[in-house]
Amino acid sequence: MANEFPVQIGPARFANPYFAASGCFGYGLEYADFIAPGELGAVVTKTITRAPRGGNALPRLQETHAGLLNSIGLQNVGLDVYLREKLPALVAAGGVPFVSIAATNFDEYGEIAARLAEHPDVVAVEVNLGCPNVDEGGDKDAAEARAVERITRAVKDRLPDRAVAIKLTPNVTDIVHLAQGAEQGGADAIVAINTLAGMDIDLLKNQPTFARVRAGLSGPAIFPVALLKVWEIASAVRTPVVAVGGIAGPTEAIKFFMAGAVAVQLGTVLYSRPTLLAEVRDGVRAFVNERGVAHPHALRLPRDCGVRDCNPSTT
């Protein structure tokens, strides 16, 4: 069942185009009572940093209308423990590890990539360039195409035989420039989008809800933004785009494929509906059959349908 609509990303082949998004599926086994990790095309892990991180102060979560603000701060076990304990456990359970990483400088990206290269079980690496919840290495540092290109190259050079995907922040003037930087750097895929930066205010405490003020917005609320970014990136680069942001059911997955995505990630929705994968898979399959095509990739809309006459009455 897991083998359905396979997808090739750089040197890696995935049995299906439905991945778990970073931060929403732990290290891959936490939801094992609800969904076998091998059912997913890949498990994008919680972001791993070189040293363990304790994460941010409380509170860390605030639900919004159709969304979720988070300020977790990349709490994770660190690279050593990940490689020693979490990676083998996921592989043993049949999951496909798509390891999310973050670092605070170019050299550290290279060092982490070199360590991952020693582990043949690491199928793919997602570079988290867009976390709004950290001081260094977050979305503000990754807002320049040249920096994105350099980080991409630092990672890809050390992982030539693995898929390297670059996850971009929407918290910039033009995400397409960043995507072009990733493409220049040799990325096998571009992942869009990371969370949108937002904030909330605690009326009782008379202060910003989160200690860092900024937090990351995810969930159904951000889907239209993610869809546009995927559309814009897929229109501008040849590198495959993996879409993430606001999937709540099969409809959003179908629309991401139509916008040009080669694979999709399920994120925040998994917190309340860890079994949604089957529904998405069935819904996409039914839609693909109804359209009489062989693969969701064939749903991609031609680019010229986006340039209809915008102001017909002004001519």
Positions that interact with other proteins (CB under 8 A): 23-26, 30-31, 33, 46, 52-63, 66-68, 70, 72-73, 75, 219-220, 268, 270-272, 274
Give the alpha-carbon dihedral of 34, 64, 47, 120, to 10 degrees.
40
To other proteins, the closest distance from the beta carbon of 57 in angstroms equals 5
How is residue 106 written in tokens? 């170019």
Contact criterion met (CB below 8 Å) for 218 and 268: yes
Closer by beta carbon to other proteins, 41 or else 267 = 267
To other proteins, the closest distance from the beta carbon of 80 in angstroms equals 15
Kind plus residue range of the DSSP H or E element containing 270: helix 269-272
DSSP annotation string for 35-51: --GGGSSEEEPSPB-SS
Closer by beta carbon to other proteins, 62 or else 239 = 62
Catalytic residue (choose from 24, 131, 305, 310)? 131
To other proteins, the closest distance from the beta carbon of 53 in angstroms equals 5
Closer by beta carbon to other proteins, 46 or else 229 = 46
CA distance 238 to 4: 24
Closer by beta carbon to other proteins, 116 or else 215 = 215
Angle (CA) 64 65 71, round 5°:
20
CA distance 138 to 267: 19
To other proteins, the closest distance from the beta carbon of 165 in angstroms equals 21
Residue at 10: amino acid letter: G
To other proteins, the closest distance from the beta carbon of 156 in angstroms equals 28
In the residue annotation, 24 being an active-site residue is answered as: no
Closer by beta carbon to other proteins, 16 or else 70 = 70
CA distance 204 to 207: 8
Beta strands 61-64 and 97-101 are unpaired
Q: Which of 97, 96, 192 is nearest to 142 (CA)?
A: 192
CA distance 173 to 176: 9
Point out the residues that are catalytic. 131
